[in-house]
Amino acid sequence: MIKINETERKDLNNIMTLWNNGEVMKYVGFPEGLNITLDRLNKWYDYMKLQANSKHYSIYDEEKGYCGEAFYSYDELHDLASLDIKLFPFAQGGGIGYLGLKHSINELFANTNASRCYVDPHSENIKAWKLYDKLGFECKSRPSHLEPAPTYLELSKDRWMKPRLQKLNSSDGFLVYEMLQEIPATENGFSNAANSLSYESFKEWLKEKSDFSEGINLPPYRVPETYYWLSVKGEFVGLIKLRHYLNKSLEEAGGNIGYGIRPSKRGLGYGKLMLGLVLEEAKKLGLEKVLITVDDNNESSVKVALANNGKIVNLKNNYVYIEIYLK
């Protein structure tokens, strides 16, 4: 379990170890670490506590202990906040960075008037770039009031608050895995093959599904199929599958689209929203209409499809057949 707390004086020894670690600090220009003392950190802490628009967080894992820090600082004059996160190498790559930044972003937008925030990762820090991309940061022109730097990624409050689809990526980590363990393996005709997989097997499954989306290594009976996750303020709440075309089997059962919402997030309208978003992806594939087949006892999914301009075209074999024409 991950715990993220506003930094207290008792955390300073851990922060000193973090800042003096050259592997952690190399991308910000200090490959030997900062060589900072506890005395200087105490003065920094006193200064930080006086800053109304800045917050520093310490990140702990129940098993691993102290993992690193996250931070935001809001500049009211320019309506822009800077973000930062630093983790020990052992804490990188397992979703801890995502959780730390998600926490900072939510706190920033909840407790200040900021409408946007930014990061400027080192061009060679590939892990950081992937992390910021998953959170929704976009490359933009660097504001002139900032010191020159080769990179600038920005995230607006509007973009953060707006639910969005994220295409499955083989680098997806524990937070997606956690969601897929909550969504049942089979329910109302929807199958979630990732449920009950080990984390190692899940990573292999991601690679397979990524290949299938591109038509690579497809079994003879399968069609290309793309998975998307629905992200709401950085939290993964559901998955939806888009099959690029139909074969005879899918015309009878399965259709173009299947989806599942994690049980803890049901009843909030995410199914309707997620289907509407994936219909836009279907248009990009050149589809003129999609078929959705729903178990005839699954009234809620029928309502979701009808709310997205679906029309019932058939009832047979315990399925409701719904078509949606794409404008």
Q: Hey, where are the domains in the chain?
A: 2-162, 166-325
Q: Are 229 and 194 a contacting pair, CB within 8 Å?
A: no
Percent over 90 (pLDDT), the chain: 95
- Condensed to tens digits (0 to 9), the pLDDT of residues 32-54 reads 999 999 999 999 999 999 999 99
Percent over 70 (pLDDT), the chain: 100
Architecture per CATH, 2-162: 3-Layer(aba) Sandwich (3.40)
Q: Are 286 and 280 a contacting pair, CB within 8 Å?
A: no
Predicted local confidence at residue 310, as pLDDT: 97
Q: Give the lowest-confidence range in 17-21, 115-119, 186-190.
A: 186-190
Instruction: Band the pLDDT of 195: cuts 50, 70, 90.
Output: very high
Mean pLDDT of 111-128: 95
Which residue in this structure is represented by tokens 């399968």? 222
CATH topology for 166-325? Aminopeptidase (3.40.630)
Predicted local confidence at residue 279, as pLDDT: 98
Instruction: Band the pLDDT of 189: cuts 50, 70, 90.
Output: confident
Instruction: Band the pLDDT of 120: cuts 50, 70, 90.
Output: very high
Which 3 state secondary structure label does DSSP give 46?
A: helix
**Is it the case that residue 212 has pLDDT exceeding 90?**
yes
Predicted local confidence at residue 93, as pLDDT: 81
- Condensed to tens digits (0 to 9), the pLDDT of residues 259-295 reads 999 999 999 999 999 999 999 999 999 999 999 999 9
Predicted local confidence at residue 327, as pLDDT: 80
Task: Please report, for residues 116, 117, 143, 151, the alpha-carbon distance to residue 140 in angstroms, rounded to integers and kept in the order given.
Answer: 12, 12, 9, 9
Q: Which residues contact 251 (CB under 8 A, 6 or more apart)?
A: 291
The span from the CA of 300 to the CA of 298, in Å, is: 6
Cα dihedral sign, 199-202-207-208: positive
- Condensed to tens digits (0 to 9), the pLDDT of residues 131-166 reads 999 999 999 999 999 999 999 999 999 999 999 999
Q: What is the mean pLDDT of the chain?
A: 95
- Condensed to tens digits (0 to 9), the pLDDT of residues 87-111 reads 999 999 888 999 999 999 999 999 9
Predicted local confidence at residue 119, as pLDDT: 98
Instruction: Band the pLDDT of 8: cuts 50, 70, 90.
Output: very high
Instruction: Band the pLDDT of 68: cuts 50, 70, 90.
Output: very high
Predicted local confidence at residue 171, as pLDDT: 86
**Is it the case that residue 65 has pLDDT exceeding 90?**
yes
Tokens in use for 153? 């990624």
Phi, psi of 149 (to 5 degrees): -160, 150
Fold: same for 2-162 and 166-325: yes
